């Protein structure tokens, strides 16, 4: 009887270890060509159930000066996650302007909001980006992956 109890405990521990490891193996990761895009928050307006954040920054890869507006909607009962929509405007030194629609999901842990976004630019370029918004520091930092 003692052996069966120990065997069941051992199998339970193995199952917990397997489930823990398989969760990290199945994590969503993106690889490939990418570039960094960093912004500074210029305004934050709060509404019932949503916030609108505007930001700006200089971005390489031919984008130039970029202005962003994100509308974050709370969709969880604890207020720690949701979805967003937004718009981007870019202008390079030569005066060429582009527009982009932004959409995705977000989650917050402390002062950090993690964003997962799909963006469509008027020149036909599509991007996937993972971003980190530091609400205390007032910054947004994205790793942008062009979609082929």
Whole-structure pTM value: 0.79
Higher pLDDT, 30 or 18: 30
Distance from C-alpha of 110 to C-alpha of 80, rounded to nearest angstrom: 9
Residue 29 has a pLDDT of 75
List, in sequence order, every residue forming a beta bridge with 126; answer none if it has no partner: 120, 147
Considering the domain boundaries, does residue 21 fall inside one?
Answer: no
Query: Is there a domain that residue 30 lies in?
Result: no
The answer to whether residue 49 is domain-embedded is: yes
The values of phi and psi at residue 107, to 5°, are -145, 150
Domains in the chain: how many in total?
1
**CATH number for the domain harbouring residue 137:** 2.40.350
Q: What share of the chain is helix, strand, coil (3-state, %, to 5)?
A: 15, 60, 25
Tell whether 10 is covered by a domain: no
24 lies in some domain: no
Whether 124 is in a domain gets the answer yes
11 located within any domain:
no
Is 118 in contact with 103 (CB distance < 8 Å)? yes
Q: Are strands 139-147 and 112-121 parallel, antiparallel or unpaired?
A: unpaired
23 inside domain: no
For residue 105, give both structure tokens.
Answer: 């999901």
Q: What's the domain range around 52?
A: 35-147
**Residue 2 pLDDT grade (very low, low, confident, very high; cuts 50, 70, 90):** low
* pLDDT 10s digits, 52-63: 999 999 998 889
**Distance set, CA 145 to CA 4, 29, 32, 58, 119 (Å):** 52, 12, 7, 17, 10
């Amino acid at each position: 009887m003692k052996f069966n109890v120990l065997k069941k405990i051992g199998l339970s521990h193995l199952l917990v270890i397997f489930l823990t490891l398989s969760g990290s193996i199945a994590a969503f990761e993106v690889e490939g060509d990418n570039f960094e895009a960093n912004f500074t928050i210029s305004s934050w307006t709060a509404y019932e159930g949503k916030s609108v954040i505007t930001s700006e920054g200089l971005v390489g890869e031919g984008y130039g000066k970029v202005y962003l507006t994100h509308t974050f909607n709370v969709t969880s009962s604890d207020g720690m996650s949701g979805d967003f929509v937004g718009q981007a405007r870019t202008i390079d030194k030569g005066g060429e302007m582009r527009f982009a629609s932004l959409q995705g999901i977000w989650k917050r842990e402390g002062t950090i909001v993690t964003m997962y976004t799909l963006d469509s630019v008027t020149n036909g370029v599509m991007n996937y980006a993972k971003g980190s918004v530091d609400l205390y520091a007032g910054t947004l930092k994205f790793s942008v992956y062009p979609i082929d």
